Amino acid sequence: MGSKTSPGNFFEDFQLGQHIVHATPRTVTTGDMALYTSLFGSRFAINSSSEFAQSLGLQQAPLDSLLAFHMVFGKTVPDISLNAIANLGYASGRFDQPVYPGDTLSTTSTVIGLKQNSNHKTGIVYVRSIGINQRSETVVDYIRWVMVPKRNPEAPAPEPVVPDLPDAITCDELAVPFRLDTASYDTHRSGSPHVWEDYEVGERIDHVDGMTIEEAEHMLATRLYQNTARVHFNQHVEREGRFGRRIVYGGHIISLARAISYNGLANALGVAAINGGRHTNPTFAGDTIYAWSEILDKRLLPDREDLGALRIRTVATKDLPCSNWPYLDADGKYEPSVVLDFDYTALMPRRSTVK
């Protein structure tokens, strides 16, 4: 009798060009937004106040960019990374449409690269995933790569294909859903007087605050996204694994770092692009997350005088405050305390729009 359950895919189950339609469509609600706020404490005004969002030309307060990302990402896990050993990185991510309560999100993925590792036991799978709303409009489009075990180490490997990934999304590729009128942006309500002109390339910001992760929180968050990866939930199995305990979903750390970054980047109006990202060390319940950011670049947007773009690197650490900018050691390797290296682009109001 054939099995009706799925053990998830192994490396040899993937084929270059393979197109995957993921279950299950998800209609997002204000409840999802409230739960996300309770988990991360994000204070960005655009996601907290419909009145504030409408002053920026939006119909109401949208989902946090990263909540939309996690919802889309979660759909891919049963097919792409249920058995993954590690989610290795992100690139070429774009946020094209705001997501509002009532929108229904669906995801598809295409395998764009495959490479067996030298141990013949694992391989790297590169996928491009696209999340759409009920009108078939793209809301999130990104690339990630994961290390997946082989079912049979003796199985022949495919010809290696590693995609050529861009260093960053260019300004003319960014979607800009906001429209600010002159002197319409209220920095008192947003929580900071600092706008695009106030940031300099090379500037570093210690976001100061720390947040300790509780076991129930990271599992609740991952269930919110319908992310089924066993490494986050099943202590019965994970106590025999590499770490002896469940690991925290890497996206949880991205959201924590983004929420913490409010103190210093309060006027960053969501994540417009993911240029690159790496989960550099595992995180566990009980760890306290801190973050610091560096301004990598600042650009004017084509034909726009109300907004500018900041390219930002946010580095998150565990159990180590960031006053000394922990990052790489003398050998160019990530320090053990560093758990996230996230390179993204945010849109920010310019001086002419401020009340």
Instruction: Give the C-alpha separation, 249 to 24, whole Å.
Output: 20
Query: Mind listing the domains of the chain with CATH numbers?
Result: 11-152+163-353 (3.10.129.10)
Q: What confidence score (pLDDT) does residue 137 get?
A: 97
Q: What confidence score (pLDDT) does residue 146 get?
A: 95
Backbone angles phi, psi at 154, to 5 degrees: -85, -10
Instruction: Give the C-alpha separation, 125 to 13, whole Å.
Output: 10
Contact 322, 292 (CB under 8 A): yes
Question: How many CB atoms sit inside 10 A of residue 173's CB?
Answer: 14
37: Cβ–Cβ under 8 A, 6 or more apart, which residues? 47, 48
Q: Among 24-38, 65-79, 226-240, 309-323, which stretch is predicted with the lowest mean pLDDT?
A: 226-240
Q: What confidence score (pLDDT) does residue 2 get?
A: 63
Contact 260, 286 (CB under 8 A): no
351: Cβ–Cβ under 8 A, 6 or more apart, which residues? 195, 196, 197
- Cα–Cα distances (Å) from 348 to 18, 199, 271, 334, 342, in that order, read 38, 10, 10, 30, 18
Across the chain, mean pLDDT equals: 95
Instruction: Give the C-alpha separation, 182 to 302, whole Å.
Output: 18
Task: Report the pLDDT averaged over residues 54-82.
Answer: 96
For the question of whether the overall pTM of this predicted structure is more than 0.75, the answer is: yes
Instruction: Give the C-alpha separation, 252 to 270, whole Å.
Output: 16
Instruction: Give the C-alpha separation, 105 to 24, whole Å.
Output: 9
245: Cβ–Cβ under 8 A, 6 or more apart, which residues? 235, 238, 239, 284, 285
Encoding tokens for residue 234?
Answer: 């099943």
1 has pLDDT over 60: no
Instruction: Give the C-alpha separation, 142 to 165, whole Å.
Output: 11
Over residues 158-217, the pLDDT tens digits come to 999 999 999 999 999 999 998 888 788 999 999 999 999 999 999 999 999 999 999 999
